[in-house]
């Protein structure tokens, strides 16, 4: 019998260390509040994912099965691991146990939504926020509304796909109880739990897919909701958090309001948290408030220290801002990581040397020397690739498949001016400076995950072991501490 009001939500992310499916949890809570019967099949911490799916699906027939697809690939060259084959295997196991329609969603999915729906043959996909779209889809399945009215829905009409625009609701009403996922278990095995303060970003960095998955405006949560959620997690024994905003300080005013709320509720001394931040705006006031509110580590989207490269990436900061950000973190006792994106269009050995030299001198706790820009569809770098006809190594394209460019497969750009072995060049420039996570040379990288020398967190055994031994925090911070020990 079909249970009209029931849905099974599946977390498909099996990467280790495990990251709790915060997006799926928000969606599950939203559905529950509206009176739907929700079950979660969490493959992230299940010993045997097939058994977990059988137990959740074989006894009943939900109206819909929702699969969350967070990471389409590891976004890391040269490992370039795609998770699509794993998703396809999971979908066929689901089909083995149930003939209910399947809807895919999630941040990675949203970037490539149409291509993934086509490739996997599922009935539905949802681009963007799931909290409003999934209840709307369930209503449409009952005939109470039309598919056309479900924000972000992709569905099939005969042979063709129909696609609705996502809603990107300005008023974010995200549930705060965090009671539907085993966050305590994820905390023990993953070392941190995520929480959002906003969605969306209005910047126009040439490589970023955030605009596709989250929209082009900052959509802010009320600071009181964020603090309520921190309290919910604390009650579960979770006291180390990672913010899931693309950049916590865009806009800076909201970041300060969130900090003030945490300070006002005296939560600063009870939680430790980490965040991604843009390099600007970041001033003394924000750094001070963040430290008082419990922030212990910041990962800045530094990209480069070369004026030419930053302008090319459409980043508003300059090298001096990076130095200032590191100085402010030092002043307030906040650990600091700078994420670099080396090898973009226009990069030369000279600009790489400039960046590595500068970052070495300003001495953050660590810097990720990421090499190679993942080309996401509908970004400026994708337009450049199409208009200039890039397809081979001599054009800068790095990939492991043949034929025309297929951006759903891991596809990267590394400026051809860096020569045949760009990772060797970068490593030589780093010269063994332990503050850098160096890129792995091609051919030496394990294709199935990280060996722990770089900062690829996919199946990173160094991290898994450190967390099992009690380490907690952002992964770059744990790796840094392990390398110092
Ligand atoms: C914070 C973050 C991290 C933190 C996570 C901290 C934590 N404890 O949660 C850290 C640093 C650990 C991290 C690691 C990695 N990350 Co990360 N991360 C992010 C970030 C900024 C936020 C993700 C998030 O949680 N968002 C908040 C939640 C609430 O949103 P959501 O998951 O999208 O869910 C919403 C919708 O998607 C939808 N939805 C979700 N599930 C479902 C299901 C259904 C059925 C439906 C209909 C809807 C739906 O509704 C939800 C609520 O609205 C994103 C970029 C971004 N702005 O989203 C990158 C991002 C997800 N990461 C990415 C990657 C690649 C990784 C790594 C693989 C990198 C690596 N090689 O180490 C690892 C993977 C770790 C792991 N085990 O999974 C990529 C994935 C893209 C891709 N190529 O596939 C992203 C998109 C960044 C990017 N543009 O490259 N990450």
Centroid of ligand 1 to alpha carbon of 221 (angstroms): 18
26 CB less than 6 Å from ligand 1? yes
Is the entire prediction scored with pTM above 0.95? yes
Q: By percentage, how much of the chain surpasses pLDDT 90? A: 93
Rounded to 10 degrees, the C-alpha dihedral 207/208/213/214 comes to: -150
Q: Which of 25, 33, 43, 71 to mutate to test the pocket of ligand 1 (most atoms within 8 A of CB)?
A: 71
The structure tokens listed for 478 are 């744990």
- Burial code (b: 16+ CB inside 10 Å, e: under 16) for 301-312 equals bbbbbbeebbeb
Statement: residue 213 has pLDDT above 50 = yes
pLDDT confidence bin for 485, thresholds 50/70/90: confident
- Give the chain as a 3 state SS string: CEEEEEEEEEECCCCCCCCCCHHHHHHHHHHHHCCCEEEEEECCCCCCHHHHHHHHHCCCEEEEEEEECCCCECCCCCCCCECHHHHHHHHHHHHHHCCCCEEEECHHHHHCHHHHHHHHCCCEEECCCHHHHHHHHHHHHHCCCCHHHCCCEEEEECCEEEECCCCCCCCCCCCCCCCCCCHHHHHHHHCCEEECCEECCCCCCCCCCHHHHHCCCCEECCHHHHHHHHHHHHHCCCCEEEECCCCCCCCHHHHHHHHHHHHHCCCCCCCEEEEEECCCCCCHHHHHHHHHCCEEEEEEEEECCCHHHHHHHCCCCCHHHHHHHHHHHHHCCCEEEEEEEECCCCCCHHHHHHHHHHHHHHCCCEEEEEECEECCCCCHHHHHHHHHCCCCHHHCEEECCCCCCCCCCCEEECCHHHCCCHHHHHHHHHCCCCCEECCCCCCCCCCCCCCCCCCCCCCCHHHHHHHHCCCCCCHHHHHHHHHHC
Q: Does residue 76 line the site of ligand 1, with CB under 6 A?
A: yes
Q: How far apart are CA 151 and CA 157, in angstroms?
A: 17
Give the distance (Å) from ligand 1 centre to CA of residue 213.
10
Task: For residue range 280-337, list pLDDT tens digits in order.
Answer: 999 999 999 999 999 999 999 999 999 999 999 999 999 999 999 999 999 999 999 9
What's the average model confidence in pLDDT over 132-142?
96
410-456 per-position pLDDT tens digit: 999 999 999 999 999 999 999 999 999 999 999 765 544 455 578 99
Could you tell me if the CB of 75 is within 6 A of ligand 1? yes
Cβ(66) – ligand 1 distance below 6 Å: yes
What are 394-404's pLDDT values in tens digits?
Answer: 999 999 999 99
Instruction: Look at residue 447 in the predicted model and tell me its pLDDT.
Output: 46
Query: What integer pLDDT is reported at residue 59 of this predicted model?
Result: 85
Contact 395/375 with Cβ under 8 angstroms? no
pLDDT in tens, 100-114: 999 999 999 999 999
Say yes or no: CB of residue 411 within 6 Å of ligand 1: no
Domains annotated on the chain, with CATH:
2-163 (3.40.50.280), 185-372+418-484 (3.80.30.20), 373-413 (no CATH)
Residue 5 has pLDDT above 70, yes or no: yes
Closest ligand 1 atom number to CA of residue 192 = 8
Taking residues 351-358, report their average pLDDT: 98
As a whole number of Å, the CA-based R_g of the chain is 22
- 214 Cβ closer than 6 Å to some ligand 1 atom: yes
Q: Is the CB of 124 under 6 A from ligand 1?
A: no
Indicate which residue's Cα is closest to atom 30 of ligand 1: 23
Give the chain's mean pLDDT: 96
Are 388 and 345 a contacting pair, CB within 8 Å? no
Rounded Cα distance, 305 and 327, in Å: 16
């Amino acid at each position: 019998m079909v249970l009209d009001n029931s849905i099974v939500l599946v977390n498909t992310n099996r990467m280790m260390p495990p990251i709790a499916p915060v997006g799926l949890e928000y969606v599950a809570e939203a559905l529950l509040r509206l009176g739907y019967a929700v079950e979660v099949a969490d493959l992230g911490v299940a010993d045997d994912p097939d058994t977990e799916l059988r137990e959740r699906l074989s006894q009943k027939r939900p109206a819909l099965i929702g699969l969350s697809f967070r990471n389409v690939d590891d976004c890391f060259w040269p490992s370039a691991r795609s998770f699509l084959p794993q998703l396809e295997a999971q979908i066929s196991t689901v089909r083995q146990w149930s003939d209910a329609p399947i809807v895919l969603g999630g941040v990675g999915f949203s970037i490539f939504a149409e291509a993934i729906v086509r490739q996997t043959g599922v009935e539905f996909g949802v681009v963007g926020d799931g909290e409003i779209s999934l209840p709307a889809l369930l209503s449409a399945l009952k005939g109470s509304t039309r598919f056309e009215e479900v924000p972000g829905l992709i569905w099939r009409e005969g042979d063709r796909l129909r696609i609705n625009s996502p809603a990107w609701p300005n008023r974010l009403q995200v549930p705060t109880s965090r009671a539907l996922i085993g966050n305590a278990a994820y905390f023990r095995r993953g070392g941190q739990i995520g929480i959002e303060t906003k969605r969306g970003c209005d910047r126009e960095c040439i490589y970023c897919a955030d605009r596709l998955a989250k929209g082009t405006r900052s959509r802010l949560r009320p600071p009181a909701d964020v603090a309520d959620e921190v309290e919910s997690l604390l009650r579960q024994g979770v006291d180390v958090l990672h913010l899931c905003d693309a950049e916590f300080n865009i806009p800076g005013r909201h970041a300060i309001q969130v900090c003030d709320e945490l300070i006002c509720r005296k939560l600063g001394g009870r939680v430790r948290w980490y965040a991604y931040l843009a390099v600007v705006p970041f001033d003394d006031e924000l750094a001070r408030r963040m430290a008082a509110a419990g922030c212990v580590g910041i990962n800045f989207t530094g990209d480069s220290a070369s004026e030419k490269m930053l302008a090319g990436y459409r980043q508003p900061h300059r090298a001096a801002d990076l130095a200032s950000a590191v100085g402010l973190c030092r002043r307030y006792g906040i650990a600091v990581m700078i994420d670099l994106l080396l090898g973009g269009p226009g990069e030369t050995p000279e600009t790489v040397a400039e960046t590595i030299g500068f970052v070495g001198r300003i001495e953050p706790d660590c810097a990720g020397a990421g090499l190679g820009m993942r080309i996401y569809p509908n970004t400026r770098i994708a337009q450049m690739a199409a208009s200039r006809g890039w397809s081979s190594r001599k054009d800068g394209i790095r990939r492991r498949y043949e034929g025309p460019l297929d951006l759903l497969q891991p596809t990267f750009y590394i400026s051809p001016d860096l020569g045949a072995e760009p990772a060797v060049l970068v490593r030589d420039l780093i010269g063994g400076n332990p503050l850098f996570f160096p890129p792995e040379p091609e051919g030496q990288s394990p294709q199935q995950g990280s060996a722990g020398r770089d900062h690829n967190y996919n199946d990173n055994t160094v991290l898994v072991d450190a967390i099992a031994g009690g380490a907690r925090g952002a992964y770059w911070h744990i790796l840094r501490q392990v390398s110092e020990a």
